[in-house]
Structure 1
Amino acid sequence: MTPNAYATLAIYSKHFKSDEVTALLEISPTRVGEKGRVFSWLLSTIEVLQSNRIEDHASEILKIFDPRRESLRKLALEGCEIRLWLYFGLDQPNRAFVVSPELIEFLGSLQADICIDVWSRGEENKGDGGN
């Protein structure tokens, strides 16, 4: 079953292969891929943090990657696309979350996008990500 919230830092590159990103960041990804000529390197909180608060998952990503900011900046300057994906499900009709100033500053320094994926956890959508 998909947790109610998790975050993933994704790096997409046409120039760096996944093993090169791993060596530069000195941390293993949770998933890598290749589609066409674009390599993807992803590290997710899905298996490491047991919290339904998306803010906790975003903070965990910041904790992991802030010490690696210069390496991430190098990747960004070399043409890599960096995105923070925030995923969470709604158990109620309304839910808000806060993105901390520290996270905004961190992502801004990398010219990184924040992508937000929200899905309904209602009976009619259970298990399909709300699609």
Structure 2
Amino acid sequence: MRVTYWQQNSGTKRAARVHLVNRSPDPITGVELRMTGYTTAVRDERRGYLVGLTLPPCTEFTYIAEKLVFTYWRAGRVLKEALVDWQAEDMDFTDGDGNSWRRTQISLLRIDCPGHPSSMSSIGYQGQPTSKQAVVCGSDG
């Protein structure tokens, strides 16, 4: 499987960028990147998903940390806060054959039921990620 992600840290050891890469010749759908971090307003740990992504064939998306926004409900209102000190944990996605997978930093597992728990909040992005062609691209075999 030629789908992965990695986090690029800045000189302060904070995550500066996260890269999502599809090196396969097929589009990858249902991409959900689970992240843990802190918001600027509260030092409580926040967990959420960057959701609803599709990675076209042979493409790398780069998300800049300063543009990630934690979105949640409180007292009947939608609140948005910038994320700081975040960590990408794992990524769920569906391949071109309809199989669902979970990619971690060290493994790739086939899963039966993709998707995040409904109790998890979403993480949005202000604008569009940077997109470029993946360096190495092709089929596995």
- Relative to the length of structure 2, the TM-score reads 0.25
- Relative to the length of structure 1, the TM-score reads 0.26
The structure with the greater share of residues assigned to helix is: 1
